Amino acid sequence: MNKNNVIITGVPRSGTTLACYLLNKVPNMLALHEPMEVAEFAKLSDDQICKKINDFFFQNRKSLLENKTVISRHVGGKIPSNIVGLSLSQQIRAFPKQFIGSFMGLKLNPKRKLRKAIAVSGEIRIDKELSPDFILCLKHPAAFSAKLDILMNHFPSYAIIRNPLSVLASWNTVKFMWDGHSLIAESLDISLANTLSRINDRIERQLYLLSWFFEKYYSILPVEHIIKYENIVYSGGRALQIIAEQACTLNEALDSKNKNKVYDKEFVISVGERLLNTSGAYWEFYKKESVEMLLQEFEEKNS
């Protein structure tokens, strides 16, 4: 196992992209945001998947050291701290003066309220000094979670998690998680796909899928390899030093998005009540009191 080839996964919308953004501030390391064509994994055996990832590490290390270029999802040639933008309705609320006379007073289709991913995949230039033994991280939430039991035997593996209510609030603002499916994860875990296909209620699917992610980390990873978004924010990024010791020097001014105003208040309250009546694996990491407290804080902040 090459300790400098690192796997990062986590619950979608839990701060995995933020983790990459912060790690890229650390000397002699680089964290790539969903750089691989993971849809191909469904056609491969476990051994072939591991080989493909190993080859990707090798090829991109070589490219970085020789040409200062690498493959990653990016925004304007940079690896961002967040991959989604504002929906049309959120833009209207945030910048009402710019939309007066255009959309004001109109009812928007629910789909128009969803945020889209703004990152694109491609080759970018990295003007950062890297030694031959630099740490290279690859981040894929769905694919690496689905194959975590295999990957952890070949690569140092870490997962990012977040308060389950905040995750659900975020999932219901983005197109790629709104319907309670994860196409990549389902393509790699037929049992997950079959179960989700039998659940008609969208929120019920989200709750099951959310528990599936948390169960993966709880049952497979050492607890110290599971990093809470809240700890990343509170520590200014230093909580990531379990991945790279040099991250102990991070001291970024970070604001928690757990009470993000783009989250619909009425929805958060209703889904929070449903969440509290479940028995998912997320309770292995978060006490129900943390959700109750967040519900109260959200209501007060947005009242």
Task: Quote the CA–CA distance of 147 and 189 in Å, as a whole number.
Answer: 9
Is residue 210 within 8 A of residue 167, CB to CB? The reply is: yes
pLDDT in tens, 62-112: 999 999 998 877 677 777 656 554 444 444 344 344 434 443 444 444 544
Task: Please report the domains of the chain, with CATH numbers, ordered by start residue.
Answer: 5-83+118-301 (3.40.50)
Q: Taking the mean position of all CA atoms in its chain, how far away is CA 251? A: 21
3-state secondary structure of 256: coil
**pLDDT score for 27:** 96
125 or 236, higher pLDDT: 236
State yes or no: pLDDT of 264 exceeds 90: no
Task: Quote the CA–CA distance of 93 and 177 in Å, as a whole number.
Answer: 22
pLDDT in tens, 143-197: 999 999 999 999 999 999 999 999 999 999 888 899 999 999 999 999 999 999 9
Of the pLDDT bands very low, low, confident and very high (cuts 50, 70, 90), residue 266 is confident
Of the pLDDT bands very low, low, confident and very high (cuts 50, 70, 90), residue 116 is low
State yes or no: pLDDT of 214 exceeds 90: yes
pTM over 0.85: yes
The closest alpha carbon to 217, from 156, 168, 149, belongs to 149
